[in-house]
Chains A and B, each alone.
Chain A
Amino acid sequence: MLRRLLILAALAFTVIVVILPVVSIFHRAFAEGAGAYWTAVSDPETLAAIRLTIVTALIVLPLNTVFGLAAAWAIARFEFPGRRLLLIVIEAPFAVSPVVAGLCFLLIYGAYGPVGAALADYNIQLMFNLTGIVLVSAFITCPFVVREVLPVLQVTGLDEEKAALTLGANGWQMFRHIVLPNVSWGLAYGVILSAARAMGEFGAVSVVSGAIRGQTMTLPLQVELMYNDYNATGAFAAATLLTFLALATLALRGLLHHFGPKRDQAA
């Protein structure tokens, strides 16, 4: 009896909090028919927003993957001064509100910030363009890979790596054949979380974007703008695209989950 109640409660919660809102996005997007939906989705500004969102993710992900792997490995394998501090600092983006993060970037890299003003002399502008959006997205998503890879490294320990080195492997070979296979599942999971977050980020990007239509509007910004324009169909159509991107990352995660362990055994 209790078990059934628990299951029922869990299901009801999922329906109310997750499924209903997602369904309503599609309902609103198609409220005026498939034709209106298609027009809204193929709007040049919406297309530009999709492109910018994906380009941003494609730039941010390799950056964070390399940095995340390096940081996690350094923290797990070496004792160095500032190690604990690094661990805390890497997690700061989890704790700081995205809007505050965006404002901080603006204060440092904006026209009157110490860095921004110096670069302005060379006609280099970091904010209100792709660079600014990439910078804040990298900040917002930087903890994910570290947080996923670090525990795996800590659990697997040093034995295999030492064995590889004694058998004559160089650093790269050890990394390629021991470390990477060991952390692959955690790494992939971290990258997917980063991707989802980078594509969905609103607050920080909103502060540094400059909101230039067709140029610096990411999909989440586009959704808000269209909604404010009383263009509900357009807003929800763009929202379905974001949902598709999210579902695609989820599917990718499912695939990795399915194939991941086998690869680990092979390694």
Chain B
Amino acid sequence: MSLFSRAPLSRRRLVKNSLGAGLLAFAGLAGPAQAEEQEILNVSYDIARELYAALNPVFAEEWKAETGNDLTIQQSHAGSSKQARAILQGLQADVVTFNQVLDVQVLADRGGFVAEDWKSALPNNASPYYSLPAFLVRGGNPKGIEDWDDLVREDVSLVFPNPKTSGNGRYTYLAAYAYALEASGGDEAAALDFVGKLLKNVAVFDTGGRGATTTFVERNIGDVLITFEAEVENIRAAEDDGAYERVVPETSLLAEFPVALVEKVAEQRGTADIGRAYLEFLYSTEAQRIIASFNNRVHDPEVVEETADQFPEVRLLTVDDVFGSWEEAQEAHFGDGGTLDQVFRN
């Protein structure tokens, strides 16, 4: 297996953009300002390494051009719940870029590391990009998988990570539940029955997204792998042509990737302005283009138009609309005695 190959077009754009920024920086050198060495730490989720490795140099160039200062952006990657706990215990994060809303909320609730109104501090619920649970099927789609209903057929076997241990798995569970709830006109018993059938079809329950991918791709188990669309596309790009196909269901659940400034730390380290500029940069057309090249969906109208072919249309339900809030969804479905426990027992 190789590093994921990216669309050559976006690579070229990226180079062009950084060249432009480089020239600006060069012009900036003529100015009288004394260059300062600056540093921020971006604490992020486990599989975002290559994304931020592509984004950070572009921002550093821009920052240099704007302020004349040399900026180093340190990256830390691990499961986002683990990262949140590490910050509570003293990891000096200036910004967080997570894949779970609750993990940012924890930083606001305990000790005010993040502002209480962090969600409204930046556009789109402070989520510069988004994704959704989608399906990866084997080449030619032999089982004819089109939508969620096909996943509960008796002849279909599924692979997705355990919702007990994986945020990715929780999205799949909630997406299926939300779909069934809507299809049955709000009948909770029918939705419960639906996710029960879904879990019965699971061939292997891995603890995380990476394990599920290995099960599906390398051990060749299951007809459908359910994971974030970005992951689906990345896997497909890494494997032989035609070995796998992407299926995007008609309806899915919005998966947000929330970002926030860790004010408590950044203010003490005097890096709050850099952190804010960094997070705003993630919404710039330039950054959104890079983010989209990693198969995440973005909001920037220009980039949305450019990448229209890349992302099939889908209707997205949100956790807030269907379940009230993440806290409520967490308690009702994944807490002790929640629906997941009930379904597992049956």
Contact = CB atoms under 8 A, between A and B. Distances in A.
Contact of A210 (B50, B86, B235): B86
B76 A112 contact: no
Interface string B74-102: 11111000010010111110000000000
A127 B89 contact: yes
Nearest to B231: A230
B4 interface: yes
Contact of A112 (B1, B83, B89, B210): B89
Contacts of A25: none
A111 B77 contact: no
The size class of the interface chain B forms with chain A is: 20 to 34
Given A212-B75, A228-B210, A230-B234, A128 B3 contact: no
Contacts of B74: 212-215
Contact of B77 (A116, A127, A225): A225
B59 to A, nearest CB: 16
Nearest to A106: B89
Contacts of B146: none
Contacts of A90: none
Chain B interface mostly: mixed
Contacts of A127: 89-91
A230 B86 contact: no
A227 B88 contact: no
Interface in B89-126: 89-92
Given A214-B74, A215-B74, A228 B47 contact: yes
Interface string A214-231: 111000000001011111
Nearest to A120: B90
Contacts of B50: 229
B49 A225 contact: yes
A186 interface: no
Interface residues of A, number: 26
Interface string B52-82: 0000000000000000000000111110000
Interface in A4-18: none
B1 A230 contact: yes
B346 interface: no
Given A228-B46, A228-B47, A233-B2, A211 B92 contact: no
B1 A211 contact: no
B41 A232 contact: no
A111 B92 CA distance: 10
B88 A112 contact: yes
Contacts of A200: none
Given A116-B90, A228-B47, A210 B2 contact: no
B238 interface: yes
A228 B89 CA distance: 24
Given A32-B2, A212-B76, A228-B46, A111 B88 contact: yes
Nearest to B213: A230
8 contacts: A32-B2, A120-B90, A127-B89, A127-B90, A212-B76, A213-B76, A227-B210, A230-B4
Given A212-B76, A213-B75, A214-B74, 19 more contacts: A110-B89, A111-B89, A112-B88, A120-B90, A127-B89, A127-B90, A210-B76, A210-B91, A211-B76, A212-B74, A213-B76, A215-B74, A225-B46, A225-B77, A229-B47, A229-B49, A230-B1, A230-B213, A233-B3
Interface of A: 32, 106, 110-112, 116, 120, 125, 127-128, 210-216, 225, 227-234
Interface of B: 1-4, 41, 46-47, 49-50, 74-78, 83, 86, 88-92, 210, 213, 234-235, 238
Closest 7 pairs between A and B when the two form their complex, measured CB to CB: A111-B90, A110-B89, A210-B91, A212-B76, A128-B91, A211-B76, A211-B78
